[in-house]
Chains A and B, each alone.
Chain A
Amino acid sequence: MIYPIIGMAMGICIGIIMPDLSVSPDMAKLLATALLACLDSVFGGIRATLNKNFNNRMFLVGFFSNAFMAAIFVFVGLRLGIDLYFVVLITFGMRIFQNMARIRRKLLVYKPEK
């Protein structure tokens, strides 16, 4: 369970040390939703490991395809003038909460057995 946290910490450090990637304001929305999608797939991955369902390939492909789809949604939404951006936010937000609920359930069930 520590590994995701260590990984995140490493990622944050790298991000801080790295020279500023200039992101244009239009790109900022895309990046934000891709970020949310990645967060969702990480939580999904954690839940899968707890459920012993984890499939390496599924996780990695899902990670990148989620991010890609989220970015596409937002991009198309910008071009069409519809706020598809919100659809992405709501969907992934909901999934994150669902995954967290399942993780919580799994963790709390396991604890007494220790």
Chain B
Amino acid sequence: MRVQEGKIAITFACVLLGIMLVTQYKAAQSVLPVTSQRADELISKVRDLEADNKSLKKQISELGGDKDTQLQELRYDAGVLPVEGPGIIVTLDDSTQPKMQGTNPNLYIIHDEDLLRIVNELRAAGAEALSINGQRLIGTSEIRCVGPNININGKILSPPFEIKAIGDMHSLSGALNLRGGVKESLKYWGIELQIRKLEMIVVPAYEGAFRHEYARISKKEADNS
């Protein structure tokens, strides 16, 4: 069988093929297996189950359990109790980096968006209690720029900011350290995040007032309009 024609070309192609094969093999080995993606699904499943667990516990106490525990739990959920637990403390200050010529100096200071992003990431990573410079963040807490300072719970705060978050230390710090995430994008402007993981953090209680001016308790079912 004569295969003179194209011997060289095919051999050359096969050499390339072999190289590509090995490169692809190495690449496939180094990429994390799909189980890490499944881990995210599992994590959210666990969270859902934990939430179900908690509401079931509430139902138990409502059906004639200890009334005091129910009150305590409600106060805990409302954020009017100081809480302690493991978590992280994030410290950040305005940039001390020399400003690049011609850029807006506003870009080098901390804005409400930065704090909001950090808080959002921490919440998404499962933070159960958050405070900034001693102000506990509850559902109605605002984080708003007021001139050079930031308004939280109606109190005016200035940098450096210390954000305390109670939750799983590794998820919380991991969420901030994501590639392309908050820490990296703030670092570009010289705003450094210091993240400390601690076994015991105390997050103070919310001490502000609750406004009931517009929202009343509704007897209607929540409809999806």
Residues of A within 8 A of B (CB): 1, 3-16, 18, 20-21, 23, 25, 27-28, 31-32, 34-35, 38-39, 41-42, 45-46, 48-50, 52, 54, 56, 59-60, 63, 110
Contacts and interface: CB of A to CB of B under 8 A. Distances in A.
A52 B26 CA distance: 37
Contacts of B9: 45, 56, 59-60
Contacts of A63: 13, 16
Given A54-B6, A56-B9, 16 more contacts: A4-B14, A7-B14, A7-B15, A8-B14, A10-B15, A11-B15, A14-B19, A14-B22, A15-B19, A21-B23, A28-B27, A31-B23, A42-B13, A49-B6, A49-B7, A49-B10
A8 B18 contact: yes
B17 A8 contact: yes
Contacts, number: 120
A11 B10 contact: no
B23 A7 contact: no
Nearest to A14: B19
B29 to A, nearest CB: 10
B3 interface: yes
27 contacts: A1-B3, A3-B3, A3-B10, A5-B14, A7-B11, A7-B12, A7-B15, A8-B18, A11-B15, A11-B16, A11-B22, A12-B18, A12-B19, A14-B15, A14-B22, A15-B21, A15-B22, A21-B26, A28-B24, A31-B23, A38-B20, A42-B10, A45-B10, A50-B1, A56-B5, A59-B10, A60-B13
Summarize A's interface: helix, strand, loop or mixed. Answer: helix
Contacts of B21: 8, 11-12, 15, 35
B91 to A, nearest CB: 33
A1 to B, nearest CB: 6
Interface in B22-41: 22-24, 26-28, 31
Nearest to A57: B9
A7 B12 CA distance: 7
Contacts of A45: 6, 9-10, 13
